[in-house]
Amino acid sequence: MYSMIKFPIIKPFITRDSEEEVLKVLRSGWLTQGRYVGILEERIKTYNKSRHAFLLNSATSGLIIAIKALELRQKDEVICLSFTFPATLNSVILGGATPTFCDIDLDTFNISAEKIESSITKNTKAIMPVSEFGLPADMKAILKIAHKHNLSVIEDAACAFGSKIHDKKIGSFGDIGVFSFHPRKIITSGEGGCVITDSGKLAKRLKFLRNQGLENNRFVSYGYNFRMSDIQAAVLLNQAVKIEDIIHRRISLAGNYNRLLKGFQDKELVKLPACPKNYRHTYQSYVILLSKKINRDRLSEVLRKKGIETKFGTYCVPALDFYRKNFKVSKDKYKNAYLAYKQSLTIPLYHTMGRVDQEFIANSITKAIPGRSNA
C-alpha cells in the first residue's frame, strides 16, 4: 500500500543542518537531557514569551504532568474536546482526574465555547481546550468562562506551535500550555513535547515531575522519566530556528488549496478550513469537511489509488470503544464531533510540496466526485 503513495499526508522538514547537529551530539557522548535541551528550552521561552519551558518525551507526558502539577484528583472533572486524538483524554485519566466531553463548532473543529458552560458541574476543576489542526481555540471566551467559575486552563496546543491570536501565541493563554513535536507536527523531534507556564509554583512542580521528583539534587517527590534527549533536541533545534519560514510556507500552501477547492465550498459540498480574523492558523493538517452527499471513505480509496494519502481528521473520542463503554455519554453531547469523525478528510500538506502537486490533488478530488466539477 505505502509503495503506491506519492503524496503522503506530511513529510518532516529535516535539513542537513539538523543531521550535522545530531552527529555532534552522538560524538559528544552525552545523549540524554543536556546542553541541546537547555538551548532549545530557552528558544521556546523567548518565542512564546513564557517564563518557563520544559522539554519532554511527548505531549502526552506534558498533559499528564499538567494534571499532576495542578493537583487534580479522581473526582475532579476536566472538560475536554470530543473531537481530538485520544491522548488528550487518556492524559486526564493517567493524571488521576476525570474527563468530561464537550462538543465542537463544525466551522472550526474546536471546542464550542457556547457549550462549555452547560458542561460545568460542581466537580469541574479545569478546561482543556485543543487548538485543533493548528487553528487557535477561542481562548478569549474560554478564559472568560474559566475566570467566572474559578477553573484552571490547560491548553492542549499539541498541533498549534506558532499559532496565535493577535500577537499572543497559543499555549501562553492558560495556566499551562503543551506542545507536540511528533512527526505529524510542523516541526518534529521524532517523538517529543514541551510544557510552558508563567507560574513559578507550577514550573517547580512540572520540572520535578518530569525527572523522577528530582529538585536541586534531592528527590523531593515521586516523578516520571519524561525527559527529552539531546539527540531529539538536536533534530528539532534548526527547525525551531526556521519556524516562521515554515509557518509562512504552510499558510501559503493552505491558501492555494483554498483557491483550488473554493468551487466545492460555494456548492456546499465541502467546508474548507476556517480562520477567524486576527487568528493565525499554522495548518498542522489541512482538513476539510465533506457534505453528507459525499462518501468520504470511497473518496479516500479513489485518491489512494492515485498515490494520494488521506485520513479522517481525528477521532470522536466518546464513540471509541473504551470511552463508550466506561463513560456512556449521550450522543446529543457530541453530535458535531461524530459528524466530523465520519465526514472530515485530511489531504497532503508539507513544506516541500509544489503548486503542481496541489493542482494534481485538487483535480483528483474533482474527478473523484462524479458530476460535481469544481467550476
| Rounded Cα gap, residues 273 and 276, in angstroms | 10
| Rounded Cα gap, residues 261 and 299, in angstroms | 15
Is the confidence at residue 1, as pLDDT, over 50?
no
Give the confidence band of 375 by pLDDT, cuts at 50, 70, 90.
Answer: very low
Q: Give the pLDDT score at 3.
A: 55
| Rounded Cα gap, residues 152 and 71, in angstroms | 11
pLDDT digits (tens, 9 = 90+) for 121-171: 999 999 999 999 999 999 999 999 999 999 999 999 999 999 999 999 999
Taking the mean position of all CA atoms in its chain, how far away is CA 185?
Answer: 8
β-pair type (77-81, 214-215): unpaired
Contact 153, 142 (CB under 8 A): yes
Q: Give the pLDDT score at 372.
A: 55
pLDDT digits (tens, 9 = 90+) for 209-240: 999 998 888 998 899 999 999 999 999 999 99
Is the confidence at residue 364, as pLDDT, over 70?
yes
Contact 188, 182 (CB under 8 A): yes
| Rounded Cα gap, residues 306 and 196, in angstroms | 42
pLDDT digits (tens, 9 = 90+) for 273-309: 999 999 999 999 999 999 999 999 999 999 999 999 9
CB atoms within 10 A of CB 355: 11
Give the confidence band of 370 by pLDDT, cuts at 50, 70, 90.
Answer: low
Expressed in angstroms, the distance from the first to the final Cα of the chain is 32
Mean pLDDT estimate for the chain: 94
Q: What are phi and psi of 217, to 5 degrees?
A: 65, 20
| Rounded Cα gap, residues 206 and 92, in angstroms | 15
Is the confidence at residue 266, as pLDDT, over 90?
no
| Rounded Cα gap, residues 250 and 106, in angstroms | 22
Is the confidence at residue 188, as pLDDT, over 90?
yes
Contact 61, 226 (CB under 8 A): yes
- State percent of the chain over pLDDT 70: 98
DSSP state of 183: T
What is 125-180 written as a DSSP string? EEEE-B-GGGPPP-HHHHHHHHHHHT-EEEEE-TT-TT-EETTEETTSSSSEEEEE
| Rounded Cα gap, residues 194 and 100, in angstroms | 24
